Structure 1
């Protein structure tokens, strides 16, 4: 597991690179990498919270799923239609 300290160290390196970037494109790449590292930390914390709050696993019961019901359909009769296909005009 990657520690928050390791991520902060990498973010500091990227911040220094962004400050010394010779072009806007290089700086933007550093900012994008910093953003990705932030998202990893935040997603990891969210996952940990969800795992700690749900102590019992949720399992679907057999009765929770029903079989699809066939709905009888009537053919539409259109004067300008010339076939059964959806693509017949």
Structure 2
């Protein structure tokens, strides 16, 4: 799920205004938030470029597995070979 770029840029603007009007601690917090938002923008842009195209799996690489019953459990009150027969 990608976040709209405009929304992130609006958040950066909001934190820029707070950084200019706040004291040193608030300025630092706002700058950290701006950095995180910029990283989010760059990461989102990079992930769009890095999405691999789906590729087909060759049929020969698929292995079929067979299950063989070696020892059947025999009980006196069982009705048959089905798993659903009790």
TM bucket, shorter chain = 0.5 to 0.7
CA distance in 1, matches of 2:44, 2:27: 26
Larger-Rg structure = 2
Partner of 1:67: none
The 3 A distance-change label for structure 1 pair 14 and 55 is same
- Size of the aligned set, in residue pairs, is 58
Unpaired runs of 5+ residues, structure 1, are 63-89
CA distance in 2, matches of 1:55, 1:42: 21
Partner of 1:43: 43
Higher normalized contact order (CA 8 Å, seq sep 6+, divided by chain length)? 2
State the TM-score, normalizing by the size of structure 2. Answer: 0.59
Give the drift of 1:56: 3.1
Partner of 2:77: none
Partner of 2:68: none
CA distance in 2, matches of 1:57, 1:18: 47
Q: CA RMSD in A?
A: 2.1
State the TM-score, normalizing by the size of structure 1. Answer: 0.57
